[in-house]
Every structure is written in structure tokens, then in C-alpha cells.
Structure 1
Amino acid sequence: MRVLIYSSHPYERPFLEKEAGQHDLAYTEQRLSLQTAQLAEGFEAIAIFTADDASAPVLQKLAAMNIRYIALRSVGYDHVDLTKAHALGIHIANVPEYSPYSVAEHAVALLMALNRKIAESRLLIQLQDYRLDILTGFDIHGKTVGIVGTGKIGMAFASIMKGFGAHILAFDPIENPEASSLGIRYVPFDILLKECDIISLHCPLNEHTKYLFSRDAFSKIKPGCILINTARGAIVQTEALLDALDQNQIGGACLDVYEREKAIFFQDLRGKIIKDTQYTHLLSMKNVLITGHQAFLTKEALTGIARTTLQTIASWAKGQRAASEL
């Protein structure tokens, strides 16, 4: 099967090629959009990432070029109009899981770097300033950690926090049967906000979770709480987060995702002015640590994503339904 890989980057191509088998893969760094959909002319399938646009108009254009298969190189599918895809007869499949530890461990890395002032410490060391006055953090041991979303990634994060000696609360409409073995206690959302010193987000973005962290949520959050978001940017309302930070309602934020990241992440913007004032405001704050949607970026995760993506393509090439078809 001839497959066009949209939003491809050098870091992932060796992993995709290793799993390609007999399939003919072509790559473009351009994102799928109404303007770039024509690049798929002559291909049988495409593979897209989180920054790509698979909205109804784009899908309509792809269908007119006889594209019937779209493989997502991600767990999330909030960037795809599934209803329209089904109506057009386009098959959509995601990567339901890869290495959950990649994202969970990155969330912990962000937490520890922010809490223990690693960036500030490195800067001071480079300046040969060895004073410790502004580098005080806190122990994770004994703190209450809240987890929103207890799927595989949330559970991996919980396991690490358990190793630190933290107490763990969780909010999820569907309780994970393995949670009790880690001593996780499910509570209502308002209780989680009120009692947790750290809150980490590991839920999908949908109509129920968009702006879950709004002004109302931040008004109820425990003072000094650190918020970690390695899930999807729009789970957190940026304007409300900025207000909470400016008013010292929360102690800090660790962000690997951002509400309007599609205009910024996954591209080289050196020499250009970023005009998103909310993003630049976040970037200027000492109690905010931002990475560019890299939490998934481990060799193990890239292997899993490539393998599942190409297994999906192989199933479609045989006329079979893909195991992860949505």
C-alpha cells in the first residue's frame, strides 16, 4: 500500500522504515490541511499526527481523491471528525497504546525540575553563583497527588508517585480495577481540587474534559498546588491558568501541551516573533515549565507507534478491519 506520512520528522522516520515491510512510504513535513490535502493524490492511505487537521472539509477533499484509510500516529483523535469520516467511508485507526511510561516519566521529570528549581540552578552555576537562596523545593513524600484519568498513563504516573511515598487521589468516571492495589482513592473532582498538592492530567480531550480546568476549578484548587498537563492543551483554559498563576492561586504549572500549540510546536520558529501573548506570558513566568509536546518521545514509544501504525496499514492492505479502528 502506498502511504503518505504527513507531519513527518527526522526523529520518527527510522522507526517507521524499520516497520514498513512491503509498504511504500513517502514523507512530507507539511501538516495535513485543506491546502495540503492534494499531496495525497495517488496514495491509498495517509498517516497523520496530532497537529494535522482532519476536519470535515479536509476529509471531504481526501475522499474525493479516493483516500479511504487514515492511520493516526497518536492515541488522541480529537483532531479528527469521526462522524464525517464514517459517513464518507474513510477508515480511521489510532495507536491506542504505546509506552505509557514515556509520558508518565516526562510528567515526573517536569514536576521534579520545576519543584527543585533545576533550570534556575543550572543558570546560577553557569554564572558561578553558588548561593541556594532561591532554590528551595519540597518533598514529594507525604504529599497528596491527584490524577485526572486513570488509564495506562495515569496508572504509570500513580505507580511512580507511590514510589515517592505520596498519597494518591483520582478522578475518573470509569474506575480502574487495578487502582486499589496502588492505594488510589477515587474522589469527586471538587474534592481532588481541594485536597491535592500536585495534580497531573492524563485524560483525553473531549466534550466532557475541554476546559475542565476553568476559572471555577482554579477557584477551588488548593493554594500552592502544582498542575501538570501532559495530556491535551485545551483541558486547561489558558486564560484561567494565567489568572491563577498571577494571583498565586497555584504554585506552578508544568506543561508539555498548550491550548494553541498547533501554531507553535513541531516547527523551527527561530528568528520569528511569536504573537501569542498568552503563550509568551506563560513562558516568562518562573513557576511555569514548558516543553514542546515531547513527553511521548522515547525510543520505546516511537517503536510502538511505528509498529502499530504499520500493522494497521497491513490489515487494511489485506482487506481486514484494523484492530484499533475507531
Structure 2
Amino acid sequence: MRVAVFSSKPYDENHLIQANKHNHHFSFFESHLDETTVALSQGFDAVCCFVNDTLNADVIKHLEDNGIKLIAMRCAGFNNVDLEAAQKANITVTRVPEYSPYAVAEHAVALILALNRNIHRAYNRVRENNYALDGLMGFDLHGKTIGVIGTGKIGLAFIKIMRGFGCTVNCYDPYPNPEITPVMANYVGLEKIWTDSDIVSLHCPLMDATNHMINQETLAQMKDGVTLINTSRGGLIDTGAVISALKSGKIGNLGLDVYEEEAELFFENNSNKILYDDQLARLLSFLNVIVTGHQAFFTAEALTAIAQVTLNNIDGFTEGNFDTIFQVNAE
């Protein structure tokens, strides 16, 4: 197949080429796929897209007109794809449902540890020959209560790590994971997650039911000084409400690997540009906030798995073997 790869970086190119065992023809474009770039898909059979590409009804109509038959997402999330429009256009959508759950889970734990023990602040102090400990005090993770929202493979991996620290884990998921036993974690309602947790970590997809699930109302139910971690999707959090909670002290620590308005910022070097996003600028001004640029997935093992599953999806579609691909339907 002739495949146009959007939002491409050198590491995407390297891993996809290495995984290409059936001589598909890849063309790599650094630009995001959206209404202004969809013309680049002319002459291709498929597009390969990532988290910040725009695949709304207008873009999909253009893809249909250009003869595109497959949208191969090289990520787990597909909230940026209008699945109903794709179905009407007879365009198959595939995704990578899992790659390395350990990568994301371990990054979430890294954010917790760095925030709790003020590693980021201590690093900067020592570089300035300042070894004072004032303001760097953390707390023992042992014995703390962790609230986990979303118990798929990433949530499960995160729970196992936190249990290793000696934490009590409560979790919520409308579809409980049978691998999670009462010895490991307790399934509870969302209200108990909000009220009982010292740390809340989000590991769920973004959809209508979860959009802005962290908001003024849910934050008000949480403990004062709660630690909030989001390595899933930025839209799970109402950024304005979180900023207010940081100012009041309701949130004691905030770790974000995703941001609701990240599309034009993340994965790019903007160091020579002015940051015009006032909310992100405000978040970065807090000493108890760490923001990373959607890098939780970014391990060698994860990139290899993403490329392999993406190519398997393309191979399966080419061969008409739909039982072997991870197809996403509108239902």
C-alpha cells in the first residue's frame, strides 16, 4: 500500500521502516493532518496518523475523495477521529490498543516521585550551589491511598507498582478488569475516589462521559493537598478549574503529560517562540507542577510495538484479513 504518514518524526520513520516487511511505500510528512494538509493524501491508499491529527468529518470527506481506504492510527486513542464519518465513507480505522503499558505507568510514577520529593526543584538548586532543604519536604508513599481511574493494561501496571510502594489502591472503571483482585485493589465508586485519595491518577480514554471529569465540582470533593496525575488525554481535565485548585491549595501537586490544547505545541521545538497559551503559561508558573510533552509512551519498547502493530494492521487490511487487525467501529 501507499501510505502517507502524518505528524512524522525521525523516530517514527526509523521504527516504521524497520517493521515494514511487506514493502509498503511510506511517505513521511512532519505536518499534522487537518483541513489545510489533507491534499497531501492524494495518490495514497492509506494515511497513518497520531494523537494530534484532525480527522473530523470534513477531513474524512476529503480523504474519501482522494481514494483513501484506511486510517491507521499509531496510538491507542481515537477521540480525534469521527468514526461515523469514516464508516459512511467506507474507510477502515485501526489503532494500536496497547504497546507498552509499563512505559506510561512508569512515567506516571516518575511524575509522582518527582513532585513529592521535589526532584525538579532540588536539581535546579544544586546546579546553583544551593543545598538548602527548606521547601523540599515530601511524604512517604507507603500507607497512602491511591485512586486509579481506568483499569485497563496501563491502569493495571500502575496499580501493581503502587502496591509495591505499600499503598492502598482504590480504582474505578465501568468495565472491571478480572485481573485485579481485592488483594490488589478495591473497585469503588467515583465519589470514594474523590474523597479518599491522597493521589489520583487518570488512565482512561477521552470520550463524552469522561470529558472534564476533573472539574470544579469533583475537585471540591478531594482532600486538600491532593496529588493529581494525568498521562491519558488532556481533555479529562478542566484546566481552568485545576488552576483555581492550585491557587487555593486544594491540589498540592500536579503532574501532566498531556494538555487539552497541546495539538499545536507538543512534539515540536517551540523554544524560540513566545508561549501564547495563557493557561499553560500559568500552569508552568507553579512550583508544584510538572508538565512533560506527551512523552509517557516514549520508550524503545513502546515505539517498536507501535510500529509492529501498525504494520500488522496495514498488512491485515491489505490481505483482507480483518480478524487480525485492531479495527475501530462507530458503535
- TM-score using structure 2 length: 0.97
- What is the one-letter code of the residue matched to 1:254? G
Unaligned runs of 5+ in 2: none
RMSD after superposition: 0.9
CA distance in 1: counterparts of 2:177 and 2:318, whole angstroms: 35
Shift of residue 134 of structure 1? 1.7
Shift of residue 13 of structure 1? 1.7
- What is the one-letter code of the residue matched to 1:193? W
CA distance in 2: counterparts of 1:10 and 1:126, whole angstroms: 32
Give the secondary-structure state (helix, strand or coil) at the position aligned to 1:111. helix
- What is the one-letter code of the residue matched to 1:233? G
Instruction: Give the alignment of 1:136-147 within 5 angstroms.
Output: 136-147=137-148
Shift of residue 263 of structure 1? 2.0
CA shift digits 1:254-297 (9 cap, x unpaired)? 00000111121111212211111110000110011000000000
Shift of residue 15 of structure 1? 1.0
CA distance in 2: counterparts of 1:52 and 1:274, whole angstroms: 21
- What is the one-letter code of the residue matched to 2:201? S
Shift of residue 182 of structure 1? 4.6
Aligned to 2:271: 270
Aligned to 1:16: 16
Between the aligned residues of both structures, percent identity stands at 43
Of the three residues 319, 323, 326, the one matched with 2:325 is: 323
Give the secondary-structure state (helix, strand or coil) at the position aligned to 2:59. helix
CA distance in 2: counterparts of 1:155 and 1:269, whole angstroms: 35
Q: Is contact 1:162–1:182 with CA below 8 Å preserved after alignment?
A: no
CA shift digits 1:178-216 (9 cap, x unpaired)? 111652111111111100000100000001000101100
Instruction: Give the alignment of 1:112-261 within 5 angstroms.
Output: 112-180=113-181, 182-261=183-262
Shift of residue 171 of structure 1? 1.1
CA distance in 2: counterparts of 1:233 and 1:44, whole angstroms: 31
- What is the one-letter code of the residue matched to 2:326? S
- TM-score using structure 1 length: 0.98
Unaligned runs of 5+ in 1: none
CA distance in 2: counterparts of 1:67 and 1:182, whole angstroms: 49
Aligned to 2:44: 43
Q: Is contact 1:159–1:182 with CA below 8 Å preserved after alignment?
A: no
Provide closer, same or farther for how the CA distance between residues 154 and 88 of structure 1 changes in structure 2, counting only shifts above 3 A. same
Of 263-272 and 191-200, deviating more is: 263-272
Q: Is contact 2:317–2:325 with CA below 8 Å preserved after alignment?
A: no
Shift of residue 317 of structure 1? 1.4
| Paired positions, count | 326
Give the secondary-structure state (helix, strand or coil) at the position aligned to 1:89. coil
Of 106-115 and 9-18, deviating more is: 9-18
Provide closer, same or farther for how the CA distance between residues 96 and 244 of structure 1 changes in structure 2, counting only shifts above 3 A. same
CA distance in 1: counterparts of 2:5 and 2:123, whole angstroms: 39
